[in-house]
Amino acid sequence: MSGRKRSILAFELAGAVFMVVVGSALHFLFDLAGGWPPLALIAAVNESIWEHLKLAFWPGLFWAGFAPLPASLRRRELLAVKGSSLLVTAVLIVAVFTTYTAILGRNLLALDIGTFVLAILIGQALSVALRAGGTFRRRAVSRAGVWLLGLQILAYSLFTFLPPDHWLFVEASSGLRGIPPP
């Protein structure tokens, strides 16, 4: 394995650990802060599937935007790759969760946590594969990745405050969407 690939792998593995730890903390932050509305942007405000997707997305974006980069890596390339890898992480969380709950008829905390960790690891592995392959060095592909990331930022910023009428945004136990009433 080349030095560049080793650097990318180490960076993305550290990012996976960061995402799991910070994402887990964000699960409880909104309630611990007494429902402070600005935290709703990044922290889960209810138990809907959508709110759990934010727990992987925002730490992943923060890691990509602010973590110290090894010398061989470029920030723009990393952000372009995250447009794809963070979307794959979200799709995997939804797909695995809905599949296993359809089979079992209910959710299990251990499987929820395992789904979260597995989806993050696969998303980070995709980042390694895309960056090591150099695909995102091409201008058009890089631009598309940044646009994809921007659309996700917009969606995660908007849909907590204005959740659509869709099962993904509904908390199963209460039937509520978005920020709970005080």
- Give CA angle at 93 (31, 36), nearest 5°: 15
The residue with tokens 């992987």 is 56
- Judged against a pLDDT cut of 70, whether residue 54 lies above it is answered with yes
pLDDT tens-place string over residues 64-106: 999 998 877 788 888 989 999 999 999 999 999 999 999 999 9
**Structure confidence at residue 23 (pLDDT):** 98
pLDDT tens-place string over residues 11-42: 999 999 999 999 999 999 999 999 999 999 99
Where are the domains positioned within the chain?
3-169
Find out whether 179 and 160 touch, Cβ atoms under 8 Å. yes
Tokens representing 7 are 């650097």
Residues of the chain with pLDDT > 90: what percent? 75
**Structure confidence at residue 4 (pLDDT):** 72
pTM over cut 0.85: yes
Residue 178 DSSP symbol: S
Question: Closest Cα to residue 128, out of 165, 73, 57, 173?
Answer: 73
Q: What is the Cα–Cα distance from 145 to 143, expressed in whole angstroms?
A: 5
- Judged against a pLDDT cut of 80, whether residue 1 lies above it is answered with no
pLDDT tens-place string over residues 133-179: 766 566 777 788 899 999 999 999 999 999 999 999 999 889 999 99
Find out whether 18 and 61 touch, Cβ atoms under 8 Å. no
| Neighbour count for residue 73 (Cβ, 10 Å) | 15
Tokens representing 61 are 């974006």
Length of the chain: 182
